[in-house]
């Protein structure tokens, strides 16, 4: 008897290189419906591991090499905020230093909740 295993693809991915590393990206459908062509081609990404949380966002689709990357050490995380919307959610990570928070809009509800739960488990809230 041959056993077939389905491999579920998820937006939240765990990269196993010794440390737990989670990554989430904004929805392409959200980008299409909000007329954000750049985010349709290059979704905003947020990743977290035991040491830091980082975001990557391409500014303009014509120049994908010019991107904005922000990093926040886990020791500086003050608050993890999960804003629930009607169709999509936002995740905002605020630092203890009071700088602009790391924000990623347009996440699917299931994947946003999963990502927030993983980050809270890492931080220890």
pTM strictly above 0.95: no
- Residue 122 has a pLDDT of 86
Cβ atoms 95, 78 nearer than 8 A:
yes
In this structure, is the dihedral angle defined by the CA atoms of residues 113, 116, 121 and 122, taken in order, positive or negative?
positive
**Residue 35 DSSP class:** T
Q: What is the pLDDT of residue 19?
A: 64
Segment 33-40 shows an average pLDDT of 93
Q: Which domains are seen in the chain, by residue range?
A: 14-123 (2.30.29.30)
pLDDT tens-digit readout, 59-102: 888 888 889 999 999 888 888 999 999 999 999 999 888 778 89
Q: Which residues pair with 84 in a beta bridge?
A: 89
Mean pLDDT of all residues belonging to the chain:
83
DSSP, residue by residue, 51-98: SEEEEEEEEETTEEEEEEEEEEEGGGEEEEEEEE-SSEEEEEEEETT-
pLDDT, mean of residues 27-38: 93
């Amino acid at each position: 008897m041959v056993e077939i295993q389905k491999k579920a693809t998820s937006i939240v991915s765990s990269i196993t290189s010794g440390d737990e590393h989670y990554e989430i990206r904004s929805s392409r459908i959200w980008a299409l419906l909000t007329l954000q062509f750049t985010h349709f081609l290059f979704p905003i990404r947020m990743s977290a591991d035991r040491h830091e949380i980082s975001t990557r966002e391409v500014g303009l689709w014509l120049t994908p090499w010019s991107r904005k990357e922000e990093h926040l050490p886990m020791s500086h995380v003050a608050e993890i905020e999960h804003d629930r919307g009607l169709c999509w959610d936002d995740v905002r990570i605020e630092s203890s230093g009071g700088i602009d928070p790391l924000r990623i809009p347009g996440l699917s509800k299931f994947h946003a909740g999963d990502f927030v739960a993983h980050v809270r488990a890492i931080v220890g809230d």
